[in-house]
Amino acid sequence: MGKTNLNKNVLDKNDKTRKLFVLSMFVPIILIEAVFFFGVNIQGLIMAFQKELPNGTTLFSFDNFIRIFTEGFEGSSAVFSEGIRNSLLFFGLSIFVMMPISVIVAYFLNKKIFGYKFFRIVLYLPNILPGIIIATIFRYVTAPDGAGVIASICYKYGWNWPNLFGDSRYAIWSLLFYSYWTGFGAGFLLYYTAMKRISPEIIESAELDGVKWYQEIVYIDIPLVWPTIAMTILTTLPTLLMSSGAVLLFTRGEYGTQTLAYWLFDQVRNRANMNYSAAVSLFFSFVTLPLMFISKWLMDRVPDTQY
Amino acid sequence: MKTKNFFRRKTTGQIIVYVIAFVVMLVQCLSLIFCLLWGFSSSLKTQEEFSLNSPLAFPQQWVFANYAEAFDMLEVRGFNFFGLICNSIWYAVGTPLIQITVSMIIAYVVIKYPSKFTKVYHAYVLVMMMINLSAGSAATYRFFAKLNLVDSPLFLVGKIGKTTFAYLIFCAAWRGVANDYMEAAKIDGANHWTIMFRVMIPQVIGTWGALFIMDFITWWNDYTSPMIYFPNWPTLATGLFEYESDMIMSVNMPVYFAGLMISMVPVIVLFMIFQDTIMDRISIGGIKG
């Protein structure tokens, strides 16, 4: 198979074939990634500062950014005020409700609560089923006017069942509930996998010392799986203003359910206001930039745990 | 006996908490199952039954023909049901095939062939994971359109690259594979390419498989990206959404529900077969690594 050199380490940095290998594997991929990364972002910068004139030509302008404030925050629809509010609601739900629930669900599944195999499959089902299926069924189950399952039960007892997704009083809260219902324990898989790695001896030792179940979660499980939790928070934080629920599947942004993410999607889907939406994306990315560094700084304050 | 063992050494308070947790999770699971069963039940009704009878009523005749009719009825932008499935297959297979493989290779080079450059690259990945400076879908669409990558399967060319999640998973996986394998292969005369493809990659093929399956499920269910980037090549998920949106007043809903039920079969089968593999392989380590 050719000449071999028993004294040459395969990771020897002076090995010329090693350099050739690294170049052949690494460089083409990095180049392609760079083309798309820089290409898309440069394209975005150009579009953000471009104003399209009626005759089809373009000129450099700050109009798109001015428009964010004149139309997005102060206009008749103030779509960004509503969008940011709703995005923060979805983000808050994700971090302050769904994540703790996921950790608790992971704890009980790890403890092999009765039926844990059944729960593990069913709770994860919304993550693997197409969103259109669950959303369509949910819409029909909760439909108003006797057409839906719940409405027909209510009507039997003389109760009214509201139009959850067609009434601005309920629509956003219904979307939040839907996100909670389909996301119940959705993140549990990561925490469950991490908790499985915790040595049973640690838990048994704690139990012998009289540690209660909530103390175990707070003082043992969470610290030991903190890298996983930190990773989840850190990767979720950039989506602070882009959090959204199933807006497209239920309300299309009407009835007070507009989110920034849906608005951007809608513009691109309809090929409308493309330059404006590029400016909006960039603007809100910069707005949330400080949060990223703060988040990383906070995460670094928590010591790593080895087990 | 199992129940007795489970509650052994548990205090009354713990038992109460476990029972409450069990009930809460059971209610959640039953509500999900009820909805799916209702959808299945609706798929077996006739249009008249669905429209006129109580939504709680069982099908009077189990019309399994709705499933066959779904293949005929569901047509979006010139693609019938089979066409929609084909589009889903090339999108849901092609995307993870490219991205997971690239992530695996990049992570291999970074971990097993460390240098100043790979360390800088790794730090760059961790930083960019936090910084979400994005020009958004508008810029991505415009750029892809300039490269003629939109509205065609060539869109997959734009997917050549890693995903941060898979990259970090593989970094952890490669750290767990001993360099001894590489040394032994080198002694046997293998070059670096042989070592990677024939010795090292088989060590992490389970991780590759688990990530591929998870990503396949994600892309199979994705309906928004096809709408934006290749609207004239609708996938099954996109097609089902657009069909109902476009035909809202005239949709034969039981047949539509049959189409929905069919669309979930591949992902459920995959998950049921590989759920243990997926759950064993996926873990995220510290971000400082």
pLDDT at B287: 39
Query: Cα separation of B50 and A42, whole Å?
Result: 52
Domain B72-281 class in CATH: mainly alpha
Residues A283-304: tens digit of each pLDDT: 888 888 887 777 777 766 766 5
Contacts of residue B206, defined as CB under 8 A and 6 or more positions apart, other chains included, come to B277, B281
Buried b (16+ CB within 10 A) or exposed e, B188-224: eebbbeebbeebbbeebeebbebbbbbbbbebbbbbb
Q: How far apart are CA A5 and CA A12, in angstroms?
A: 12
* Separation in Å, CA B188 to CA B20, B181, B183, B185, B197: 60, 11, 9, 5, 15
**Chain B 165-204, CB below 8 Å of chain A: which residues?**
179, 182-183, 185-193, 195-196
The percentage of chain A sitting over the pLDDT mark of 90, rounded to a whole number, equals 26
A113 interfacial to chain B (CB closer than 8 Å): yes
Read off the pLDDT of residues A102-146 as tens digits, 9 standing for 90 and up. Answer: 988 998 998 888 899 899 889 988 888 988 999 999 999 999 876
Q: Identify the CA nearest to A44 among candidates A211, A278, A259.
A: A278
Question: Regarding beta strands A50-52 and A58-60, do their DSSP bridges make them parallel or antiparallel, or are they unpaired?
Answer: antiparallel
> Over the stretch B63-93, which tens digit does the pLDDT of each residue have?
999 999 888 888 888 898 899 999 999 999 9
| pLDDT level of residue A3 (50, 70, 90 thresholds) | very low
Best of B3, B23, B29 to mutate (most A CBs within 10 Å, chain A): B29
Distance from CA of B206 to the nearest CA of A (A): 16
Query: What is the structure's pLDDT at B257?
Result: 92
pLDDT at B288: 37
Contact between B132 and A292 using a beta-carbon 8 Å cutoff: yes
Within an 8 Å CB–CB cutoff, is residue B22 touching chain A? yes
Reported as a single tens digit per residue, the pLDDT across B216-255 is 988 999 999 999 999 999 999 999 888 887 765 577 889 9
Q: Does A91 touch chain B (CB under 8 A)?
A: no
Range in B42-46, B54-58, B131-135, B145-149 with the lowest mean pLDDT: B131-135
pLDDT digits (tens, 9 = 90+) for B249-278: 577 889 999 989 998 888 888 888 887 776
- B2 pLDDT more than 60: no
- Residue ranges and CATH numbers for the domains of chain A are 64-301 (1.10.3720.10)
Judged against a pLDDT cut of 90, whether residue A194 lies above it is answered with no
pLDDT of residue A229: 83
> Model confidence over A150-186: pLDDT tens digits?
998 888 888 889 999 999 999 999 999 999 999 876 6
pLDDT bucket at B143, cuts 50 / 70 / 90 = very high
A 228-287: CB under 8 A from B: 228, 230-232, 234-235, 237-239, 242, 248-249, 264-265, 267-269, 274-275, 277-278, 280-282, 285-286
In the structure, what pLDDT confidence band is assigned to residue B161 with cuts at 50, 70 and 90? Answer: confident
Q: Where are the domains of chain B?
A: 2-66, 72-281
Q: Six-digit token pair at A112? A: 């092999």
What are the residue ranges of helices labelled H in chain B? 2-6, 12-43, 47-52, 65-73, 81-112, 116-130, 136-146, 164-175, 180-187, 192-194, 205-221, 224-229, 236-246, 253-281
pLDDT of residue B202: 94
Q: Which amino acid appears at position B4 of this protein?
A: K
Return the pLDDT at A257.
Answer: 92
Q: pTM of the entire structure?
A: 0.86
What's the pLDDT score for residue B134? 63
B residues 118-157 closer than 8 Å to A (CB): 118, 121, 129-143, 146
